[in-house]
Amino acid sequence: MGTPRVALASCEELPGLDDDGQELLRALAAHDVDAAPVVWDAPGVDWASYDLVVVRGTWDYVPKLPAFLDWADHVASVSRLLNPPPVIRWNTDKRYLAELERAGVPIVPTQFLAPGDEPDHEFADVEHVVKPVVSAGSRDTLRLAPGDPRSRAHASSLLAAGRGVMVQPYLHEVDEHGETALLFLDGQFSHAMRKGPLLAPGMELVEDLYAEEEMSVRDASEAEREVAEAVLTAIPHGLGDDLLYARVDLLPTPDGPRLLELELTEPSLFLDHHPPGAEALAKAVLRRA
């Protein structure tokens, strides 16, 4: 068997990946895997020449979603893509939260609006967050005060552009506790991170590729571990069978942790904060390649 050839899919604005991706590249090199970052929509790439393509830093997919989904299908037809296209198709639209809630997962209360709906919502009288159902890196996301006229205007603008909208109450417990991101690699819990509060009062829209995050390693509580495991168990049948990675983002509430997002497409895995995770992921890649 020859040296496995692996592509780590990146994007034009960050073609060489971030520190997280570089940590994985070093771990793969230590296992004699021929791995390199490749911009997902670069012309002329021979994806069939790779034994495995791992989606890592494709953070510009939001305005190009149909092309991104077509790319995923194409790569999977000539090589192996992880996570697989059906997972990506399901996970890039945050209406999956409603499906998980119906399966019994405690989620952050969420109202979804579809193009054609009025831009009004049930959380207008409390501090709340308005964002599109297809988004990454906190782009097109606003934290809004009760009665802020920008709420209706932002929702209206997104809906007029043909984009679905989600509205959630802002949970103030996050200001002190932060989010907890639980990382699962090859189906096993690896590590957890504290993400500091990201959305500021009166914030403007994020213009960069993604909003900068304040990160630190944290020990996940037993309750957080239980909710995260329940989230992964609730993934629709067949989609959770071969996940190379998963990130479960939880917010604290007086009633226990609630799911904010389940990241199965291109999440930061914070391997630079937890090097054993890079080794575990490299071994999982090697097994599949």
Beta bridge partners of 262: 248
The confidence band for 1, taking pLDDT boundaries of 50, 70 and 90, is: low
Beta bridge partners of 38: 9
Q: How does pLDDT run across 245-288, given as a tens digit for each residue? A: 999 999 999 999 999 999 999 999 999 999 999 999 999 999 99
User: pLDDT at position 206, please?
Assistant: 58
pLDDT (average), residues 85-90: 98
3-state secondary structure of 74: helix
Q: Which CATH architecture has domain 175-269?
A: 2-Layer Sandwich (3.30)
**Does the pTM exceed 0.85?**
yes
Q: For the chain, give every residue range classified as CATH 3.40.50.20.
A: 5-91
Phi and psi for 248 in degrees, rounded to 5?
-110, 115
pLDDT (average), residues 224-238: 97
User: Does domain 5-91 match CATH 2.30.30.90?
Assistant: no
The answer to whether the CB of 217 falls within 8 A of the CB of 194 is yes
pLDDT (average), residues 120-132: 94
The answer to whether the CB of 33 falls within 8 A of the CB of 60 is no
Q: For the chain, give every residue range classified as CATH 3.30.470.20.
A: 175-269
Q: How does pLDDT run across 133-189, given as a tens digit for each residue? A: 999 877 889 999 999 999 999 999 999 999 999 999 999 999 889 999 999 999 999
Half-sphere exposure of 230 (CA within 13 A, CB side): 18
For the domain spanning 111-169, the CATH number is 3.30.1490.20
Q: For the chain, give every residue range classified as CATH 3.30.1490.20.
A: 111-169
User: pLDDT at position 198, please?
Assistant: 62
